[in-house]
Structure 1
C-alpha cells in the first residue's frame, strides 16, 4: 500500500486552489476608472459643443482659447486614466500567466501521482489480495479499520481524478481569460493612441488661436479695463446693499432691545407700586386692630394689648428669563427665521444647485492670470458661468429678494438674502422677480446675459457671508 499521508497536504491545497485562483483584484478601482473615463468623455463632449458655439463668432476669442485649454487638460486626464487602465490590464495578464504556470505544474504533478496510483492498483487488482489483507487482521476492529482504509484509498483515487479534471477546466478558463485580456489591452492601447493624436491636433489649434490673440493685445487690454470698471460698479452696488441690510438689521435689533428695556422698567415700576400698596394696606389693618382692642379694654390697654404679627408679604415675582439665541453676535440673524435660514444655507455647503441647467465655469473666483497676457491678472468676485444664450437663471437657495437693479455695463443684478448669507446674480439680461419677493430653491429669477464676442450666454454668481466674499465653487455641487 502507498503511504497516503504524503498525499493529504496536496489534497488540502487542491481544495483551496480554485478559490485562490478565482480571487480577483479589487473591482472598485477598476469601476472608478471606468466611471471617471465616462465623466471625462462627457466633459470633453460638452467642451466640443462649447467650442462650436464660440467658433460662430467672427474672430478668435478668449472663449475659444479657454475651451481649447480645457479640452487639452481633459484629454490629458483621459489619457492618464487610460494608462492606469492599461496598468490594471497588464497586472491581470501577469497574474493570469502566473496562474497558468501554477496550474500546469499542479496538473503535471496530479497526473504523475495518479499514474502511480493506477499502476499500484493494477498490480494489486486481485480480489484475493484485498480479502486477504482484511481477514489477516488479528481483531475484528482491526479488520474494520483495514476495510475503511481501503475504502478511503478508493475515494482518494476518485478525488484525484476529479481534481485533474477540475484543474484542466480551470486551466482552460485561465487561458481563455488571458486571451480576452490581451484583446482588451490591444483595444485600450488603440484608444490611447487615438486620444494622443487628437491631443496633438487640439494643441496645434490652441497655439494658432493664442498666436492670433497675442496680435490683439491692445484690444484685449481695453476689454480688461472695461470689465474691471463694470465689475467695480457691480461690487459697489452689492456692498451698498449688504451694508444697508446690516444697518437696517442693527436698527431693528436696537429698537427691539430698547422696547424690551422699556417694558422691563415699566414692569419694575408696577411691581414697586404694588409692593407699596400692599405695605400700606398691611399697616392700616394693624392700626385698625390696635384701636379696636383699646376700645374693648380701656382699663388695661397696655397689659392686654394684643400681640400683632406682621403680615407676611408675598414674594416679588421674578422677571421672565429671555432665551438668548445661539448667535446673537450677528445682527443679520437676530430673528429666529433668519437664524434658521443661515443654518440651513450652511448645512448645504457643497450641495447647492447650479444657477443654470447646463453650463461650465469660464471665470474662476479670485485672482486669475490672463489667458493671453501672462503679466496681466484679473480679479473675479464670484464665478462666471458660460451657458446658452438667454438661458433661465435660477435661485440656488430659498430667500428674500433684497435688490433688483440695472448696472450700466454689468447687466441686471439680483441680490437674494438667506439670513446672514447673500447670493448675487449679475450680468443678467432680464429679471422675473421684484424686491421683497420671497423665492424658493430652483425658482427662475431671470435670463442669462449675452457675451457677443464669445457667442454664448453668461451669468456671474457671487456668495457673501455678511460682507465677506465666498468662493461659490465650494458651495455649489461638483458636476
Structure 2
C-alpha cells in the first residue's frame, strides 16, 4: 500500500512540475514580449524625434547623442529578440519530446485496446457469457465472474475514451508546434532586419565620428560649452537648495520647533514629513516629467563616444521630447523657487525634504509658492532653433544629495 501511494505521489509531483514549467516559460515569454514592445516603441519615438529635428540638426554633439541612443536601444532589442527565439526553441524541443512520448503512449494504448476487443469478440455472445457464469463452482465465484465482466466492459469503454482524449491532445500539440515554429521563423526574420539596421546605424556612427574628427576643434568646443553650462547649472541648484534648507531651519527655530544639528537637512513640518514619506514610498513608481520623451543622457559618469578618455558627469537625466512638450510635476509638492539662467527657466518643486528640478523651460505655468499635484504642467520645454532639439534636464535631490532619477521614475 505504501509503495502504491509513493508511486501516485511521484506521478502527481511530475505532473505538477511539468505544468509549472510550462506556466513559468509562458510568463517569461510574455515578459520578453512586453519588453520587446517597449523597445520598439522607444525606437519609434527616437526616430520621430530625430526626424522632427530634420535638417536643423547642426550640432555634432546632438547628432552623436541621437545615433548612440538608437544603437543602444537597438542592441537591447536584438538581445530580447534572441532571448525570445531561444525560449521558443526550448519550448519547441520540449513539445517535440512530448509528442514523441504521447505517440508511443497512444500506440501502446491502441494495441492494448485491440487485444481487449479481440477478447471481447471471442466472448461476445450472450450464451458464452452465461455459460462462463454457470460454470462457476460456487455462488461467490459466479458473482466474481459477473463483476469481472462488468468491470471489463467499463474498462473497455474508458480505454476508448482515453484514446480519444490522447488523440485530441496529440493533434493540439502538433498544431501548437506548427504555430511555434512559424513564430520562431518570424522572429528570426525580424532579427535579421534589426541586425541590418544596427549595422547601418553603426556605419552612420563611424561616418559621424570621422566627420567629427575632421572638425575636432568645433566638436570639443561644443562639449566644453555643454560641460560649463552643466557646472553652472549644478552650482546654481546647489546654492538655491542650501538657501531653502537654511530658510526652513530659521522658520522652525522661530516657531520653537526642535531643529536637528545637521545643517544640510530640511526642518520639516508634520505635513511635510508625510509628503516626504509618501514620495519615498513611491521610489520606482514616479511618473515621467514629460508625457512623451526618451532619455538621451542618463545619470552619472559616461565616456564620450568619440573620445573615450573624455569623461563627463551628469547630475540628472536629459530627456528629448517632441517640440511643444510640457514639463509636468512627478509628485505633489510646492514650487519653492523659479530661476532664469541664460534665458531659460528652472522650476524647483519641494516634496518634504526631496526636491525635483525641471530645467530648460521656455514658458512658465506656475509661480513660487504654488501647490502642485502629480501630472500638473509646469511649463513648456525650450526648443533650440539651431539644433531643433527639445530637451528637459530633470534632477532629484534629497536635501543636498543628488539622486539617480532612473531609480525613482517608472521604467526610465
Asked if Structure 1 and Structure 2 have the same fold, meaning a TM-score greater than 0.5 normalized by the shorter chain, the answer is yes
SS at match of 1:356: coil
1:91 aligns with 90
- The superposition leaves residues 105-138 of structure 1 with CA deviations (integer Å, 9 ceiling, x where unpaired) of 2333233333333333344445444322212223
Higher Cα radius of gyration: 1
SS at match of 1:373: coil
1:416 aligns with 349
| 1:377-456 to 2 correspondences below 5 Å | 377-408=311-342, 411-456=344-389
Deviation at 1:49?
1.0
Q: Distance in 2 between matches of 1:100 and 1:423?
A: 58
Deviation at 1:383?
1.7
2:41 aligns with 42
Deviation at 1:461?
1.6
Whether the aligned pair in 1 keeps the contact of 2:395 and 2:403 (CA below 8 Å) is yes
- The superposition leaves residues 125-165 of structure 1 with CA deviations (integer Å, 9 ceiling, x where unpaired) of 45444322212223323222211112222222333333334
Would the alpha carbon gap of residues 420 and 217 (structure 1) be closer, same or farther in structure 2, given more than 3 Å must change?
same
Work out which of the residue numbers 328, 336, 339 in structure 1 matches 2:270: 336
Instruction: Specify every segment of 5 or more residues in structure 2 that has no aligned partner in the other structure, as ranges.
Output: 1-7
Q: Distance in 2 between matches of 1:328 and 1:337?
A: 21
Whether the aligned pair in 1 keeps the contact of 2:61 and 2:219 (CA below 8 Å) is no
SS at match of 2:366: coil
2:154 aligns with 155
1:68 aligns with 67
Work out which of the residue numbers 396, 404, 408 in structure 2 matches 1:471: 404
Q: Distance in 2 between matches of 1:124 and 1:373?
A: 92
SS at match of 1:333: coil
Deviation at 1:46?
0.9
Instruction: Specify every segment of 5 or more residues in structure 1 that has no aligned partner in the other structure, as ranges.
Output: 1-11, 261-323
Deviation at 1:200?
1.7
SS at match of 2:255: helix
Deviation at 1:253?
3.3
Deviation at 1:40?
1.3
1:168 aligns with 167
Would the alpha carbon gap of residues 91 and 367 (structure 1) be closer, same or farther in structure 2, given more than 3 Å must change?
closer
SS at match of 2:382: strand
Deviation at 1:467?
2.0
SS at match of 2:383: strand
Question: Which deviates more from structure 2 when the two are superposed, residues 121-130 or residues 233-242?
Answer: 121-130
Would the alpha carbon gap of residues 448 and 378 (structure 1) be closer, same or farther in structure 2, given more than 3 Å must change?
same
2:132 aligns with 133
Deviation at 1:47?
1.6
2:255 aligns with 256
Deviation at 1:192?
1.9
Q: TM-score, normalised by structure 1?
A: 0.74
Q: Distance in 2 between matches of 1:440 and 1:110?
A: 68
Alignment root-mean-square deviation, CA: 3.0
SS at match of 1:62: helix
Q: Distance in 1 between matches of 2:245 and 2:163?
A: 84
